[in-house]
Amino acid sequence: MTRWLAAAALVALPGSAGAQVLSCALPDMIAAPRPDGPSASQPARRLPIASYTLAVTWSPQYCRDHGDDRDARFQCGSANRFAFVLHGLWPDGEGKTWPQYCRATPILRAAVLRRHLCATPSAQLLQHEWAKHGTCMAGYSPERYFSQSNAMYGRLRFPDMAALSHRPLTAGALAGAVALANPGIRADMMRVTATREGWLDELWLCVDKAFRYTRCPAHQGGMRPGAPLRIWRG
């Protein structure tokens, strides 16, 4: 029987909401993802970890751009509805280069996929995140890696995105609104990314080695605070 997860805890602060799931129906069967590993353009790199980035994706924009992709069917098809979804937890290096694909890994177990699919709504993306990023975290299993990232993602709160989408907005104003909804997180602890046309794509939150939010390094990129930003609502 199909199992539904409702957004029972969406409202946590006045004017703010949980990250995350508006509605998510887990199918009876989840197709196994394809193997994911290093390539000529994405080689294995074993480097010390200096910090982390927690990346969340604005799902309406993702589905606008990728809704017809095979791996996007669960996220963008049927009755599933998402706001911000968890892209992943990425180890960062001491400079501009980060570790990736640190060891070979088998296909994720179905139980792991089922447990985390409503946070990261693509079995293939879950496989990719573990293979590329999680394998570089010493002592971590897939269960521990996804539990860590899901716990951080689940604590995030967001402003009223529908209201923000109807008013003039900058990247800095969105970062400030997200910071206001999350005590202990400042606007300079996140980066806003957008499509070439200026539509919100992702938020990257900067985290130290103890998983405490910290100021983002200058080289992390993202939009200038004063850059105009639009939010696609679908």
Q: Is the pLDDT of residue 196 over 90?
A: yes
Average pLDDT of the chain? 91
64 vs 11, which has greater pLDDT?
64
pLDDT digits (tens, 9 = 90+) for 47-78: 999 999 999 999 999 999 999 999 999 999 87
Tokens coding 159: 């402003």
Cβ–Cβ under 8 Å, residues 155 and 119: no
- pLDDT band with cut points at 50, 70 and 90 for residue 21: low
Report d(CA 233, CA 22) in Å as an integer. Answer: 13
Q: 116 phi and psi, to 5 degrees?
A: -120, 5
Q: What is the mean pLDDT of residues 95-101?
A: 96
- Cβ neighbours of residue 142 under 8 Å, at least 6 residues apart? 105, 108, 109, 112, 130, 134
Q: What's the mean pLDDT in 160-175?
A: 96
Q: How many CA atoms lie within 13 A of 42 on its CB side?
A: 11
Please report which confidence band the pLDDT of residue 13 belongs to, taking 50, 70 and 90 as the band edges.
Answer: very low
What is the average pLDDT across 8-16?
35
Sequence-distant (6+) residues with CB within 8 A of 66 are 72, 76
> What pLDDT sits at residue 192?
98
- Asked whether residue 36 carries a pLDDT value surpassing 60, the answer given is yes
Confidence of residue 2 (pLDDT cuts 50, 70, 90): very low
pLDDT of the residue at 131: 98
Distances (CA, A) of 25 to 10, 12, 114, 192: 17, 23, 11, 29
DSSP secondary-structure letter at 77? S
Predicted pLDDT at 22? 76
pLDDT of residue 16: 53
Tell me the angle at which helices 123-132 and 142-155 cross, rounded to the nearest 10 degrees: 110
* pLDDT at residue 149 greater than cutoff 60: yes
Residues 36, 37, 40, 41: what is their CA dihedral angle, to the nearest 10 degrees? 60
Residue 15, pLDDT > 90, answer no
What percent of the chain lies above the pLDDT cut of 70? 91
* Residues of the chain above pLDDT 90, percent: 86
Quick one: pLDDT at residue 79?
83
